[in-house]
């Protein structure tokens, strides 16, 4: 598919951590850390995904201090408005300069029973409101044993892409559920194999141009010690980072993976 011109994306999913005051302090510290390291040069895109209650505070800080981080949300409603208590519309997020939204995270699929159909509806809603969906796909240990490495995530992605325009701006995140929070990441080759298969799904559904421009991230026990090895793989365009994104020095080191030897 030609030369890879995709800008790497390092995304920090804070999950249900940090109140709005802690979030502001964290973003300030991370910004200072990266400035001191002279790494805010645009070679890597950084995005943070705080809880809903933090988004306005973080957005205000980013805008006021001209901090070069993209802002993301951890979920979005499939609905525009109406009697949907507790849900948040993509229209509301767009007004807060939110760029990205995580959809279909394994925790949402497991704890909130989100089906492929619900994920697809949320992806459609995100695109409708000008948000970039970060579509999460992945397999459990049982899935891995029964179906192999890429069958389940490929099926999830194909379902999520149905009905999207071929020029839709999306990100895909492969998160092997068996690796999340375990401290045991997939190997770089495992990540590459699945990410390549997912790029093939994008090509099948949205075309080769979409496959060439769409970033595919790896997520699952990503840390400073292993990020460079993943980023050497041709189809891994970044990382969706969980626990390590809550530690300033660790997350900063992940963002600066290009400084690591051999990258």
The half-sphere exposure of 190 on its side-chain side, counting CA atoms within 13 A, is 18
Tell me, what's the pLDDT at 260? Answer: 66
Query: 48 pairs with which residues across the strands?
Result: 12, 71
Q: Could you tell me which of 195, 75, 194, 54 has the C-alpha nearest to residue 123? A: 75
Structure tokens belonging to residue 169: 């701006």
Annotated catalytic residue: which of 31, 105, 107, 114? Answer: 105
Q: Average pLDDT, whole number, for the chain?
A: 94
- Give the Cβ contact number of residue 92 at 10 Å: 18
- What number is the average pLDDT over the span 33-60? 90
- Spans of all domains in the chain: 9-259
193-233: pLDDT as tens digits: 999 999 999 999 999 999 999 999 999 899 999 999 999 99
Return the minimum-mean-pLDDT range out of 9-18, 64-73, 122-131, 138-147. 138-147
Query: 218 pairs with which residues across the strands?
Result: 174, 239
Structure tokens belonging to residue 62: 């980013």
The CATH number corresponding to 9-259 among 3.90.79.10, 3.40.1440.60, 3.20.20.70, 3.40.630.10 equals 3.20.20.70
Rg of the Cα trace of the chain? 17
pLDDT at 182 over 60: yes
**Helix 52-65 vs helix 20-36: crossing angle, to nearest 10:** 40
**Helix 248-255 vs helix 20-36: crossing angle, to nearest 10:** 50
pLDDT band at 184 (very low <50, low <70, confident <90, very high): confident
For residues 27 and 47, give the distance between their C-alpha atoms in angstroms, rounded to a whole number: 11
Tell me, what's the pLDDT at 3? Answer: 60
Tell me, what's the pLDDT at 5? Answer: 86
- Report yes or no: 155 and 138 within 8 Å, Cβ to Cβ: no
- What number is the average pLDDT over the span 13-39? 93
- What number is the average pLDDT over the span 68-80? 98
Query: 32 pairs with which residues across the strands?
Result: none
Share above pLDDT 90 across residues of the chain, in percent, rounded to a whole number: 85
pLDDT at 77 over 60: yes
CA dihedral 44, 45, 46, 49 (to 10 degrees): -150
pLDDT band at 1 (very low <50, low <70, confident <90, very high): very low
Tell me, what's the pLDDT at 40? Answer: 67
Share above pLDDT 70 across residues of the chain, in percent, rounded to a whole number: 96
Q: Residue 11: helix, strand or coil by DSSP?
A: strand
pLDDT band at 186 (very low <50, low <70, confident <90, very high): confident
For residues 94 and 127, give the distance between their C-alpha atoms in angstroms, rounded to a whole number: 11
Tell me, what's the pLDDT at 261? Answer: 46
**For the whole prediction, is pTM greater than 0.85?**
yes
Q: Could you tell me which of 139, 137, 136 has the C-alpha nearest to residue 147? A: 139
105 is catalytic: yes
């Amino acid at each position: 598919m030609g030369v890879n011109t995709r800008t790497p994306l390092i995304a920090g999913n804070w999950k249900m951590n940090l109140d709005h005051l802690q979030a502001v302090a964290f973003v300030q510290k991370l910004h200072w850390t990266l400035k001191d390291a002279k790494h805010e040069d645009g070679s890597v895109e950084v995005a943070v995904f705080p809880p809903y209650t933090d988004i306005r505070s973080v957005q205000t800080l980013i805008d006021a201090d001209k901090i070069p981080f993209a802002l993301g949300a951890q979920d979005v409603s499939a609905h525009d408005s109406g009697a949907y208590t507790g849900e948040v519309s993509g229209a509301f997020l767009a007004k807060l300069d939110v760029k990205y939204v995580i959809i279909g995270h394994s925790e949402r699929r497991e704890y909130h029973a989100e089906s492929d159909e619900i994920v697809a509806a949320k992806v459609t809603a995100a695109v409708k409101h000008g948000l970039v969906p970060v579509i999460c796909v992945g397999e459990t240990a049982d899935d891995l044993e029964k179906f192999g490495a890429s069958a389940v995530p490929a099926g999830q992605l194909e379902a999520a892409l149905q009905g999207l325009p071929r020029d839709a701006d999306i990100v895909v995140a492969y998160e092997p559920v068996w690796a999340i929070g375990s401290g045991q990441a997939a190997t770089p080759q495992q990540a590459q194999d699945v990410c390549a298969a997912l790029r093939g799904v994008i090509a099948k559904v949205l075309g080769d141009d979409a496959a060439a421009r769409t970033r595919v991230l790896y997520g699952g026990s990503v840390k400073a010690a292993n990020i460079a090895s993943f980023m050497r793989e041709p189809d891994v365009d970044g990382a969706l980072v969980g626990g390590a994104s809550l530690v300033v020095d660790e997350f900063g080191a992940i963002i600066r993976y290009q400084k690591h030897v051999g990258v």
